[in-house]
Amino acid sequence: MYVIIIGAGRTGRTVIDLATQDDHEVVVIERDTEIAEEGSATYDCMVINADAASKDIMLEAGVEEADALISTTESDSVNLMVTMFGKQYEVETLVSSINDPAHMELFEDLGVNIVESPHQLNGQYLYRAVQPPAIQDFMPIAGEAEIFEATVEDGAPIAGLSLIDADREDLLPEETIIVAIVRDDELHIPKGETEIEPGDVVTIFAGNGADRQITDIFTRT
């Protein structure tokens, strides 16, 4: 796959590293000379030291042949301009970070796959990590919906109950589903009679987000 990556900062470096490890053909455009030189020395890919918000530079990067374009800059105007070029040259997959939610509709109108600002996501992870129980991982879906993992504490309301019993006791709010359980390093797909045990790492889909009404179910009372 031919991938153009805009920006070689903290987020961009992660994308470059993953893409080059998977042996994709990668071209990077980075405006900052020092960062561009560092990227060129570190990764096995072409790095163009230039402003990506230029049609000539995008053509030099091979936008006409690209299979995917990923823009990771902290400037929504640059990200938008870059994805517009990608749209113009019919790049199949367009992905961009977005720093101001007010700009989301502009990107959506172009058919861009949007990733929330990495800094905002990092803040969400930090906040989730201090909520009881500690959420090991979470992923925002559409609207307020989230998928997250949590460890069942000994003495939690749901500990020792089957999913059927938890449903009978109205422990799980509507649009909340336990989709997986990791127990003793083994993955289990739960069914109605499956019991939730202390120490289980459960993966939960929460249609209304991981609020206290849900997380308290897995916390010792």
- 90 or 116, higher pLDDT: 90
- 61 or 97, higher pLDDT: 61
Q: Determine whether 13 is exposed, middle or buried from the number of CB atoms within 10 Å of its CB (0-12, 13-18, 19+).
A: buried
Residue 203 scores a pLDDT above 80: yes
Query: Which fold is adopted by the domain 2-116?
Result: Rossmann fold (3.40.50)
Residues of the chain with CATH 3.30.70.1450: 128-218
127-170 pLDDT, tens digit per residue, is 555 455 556 666 666 667 888 888 899 999 999 999 999 999 99
Residue 39 token pair: 């990227």
pLDDT given at position 117: 63
* pTM confidence score: 0.60
pLDDT given at position 111: 82
172-190 pLDDT, tens digit per residue, is 888 888 999 999 989 999 9
Question: Measured between alpha carbons, how far is 209 from 212 in angstroms, rounded to an integer?
Answer: 9
Q: Which residues pair with 46 in a beta bridge?
A: 27
pLDDT given at position 207: 84
Q: Determine whether 221 is exposed, middle or buried from the number of CB atoms within 10 Å of its CB (0-12, 13-18, 19+).
A: exposed
Query: Which fold is adopted by the domain 128-218?
Result: Alpha-Beta Plaits (3.30.70)
Residue 221 scores a pLDDT above 80: no
18-34 pLDDT, tens digit per residue, is 899 989 999 999 999 99
Residues of the chain with CATH 3.40.50.720: 2-116
Percentage of the chain lying above the pLDDT 90 cut: 49
pLDDT given at position 136: 60
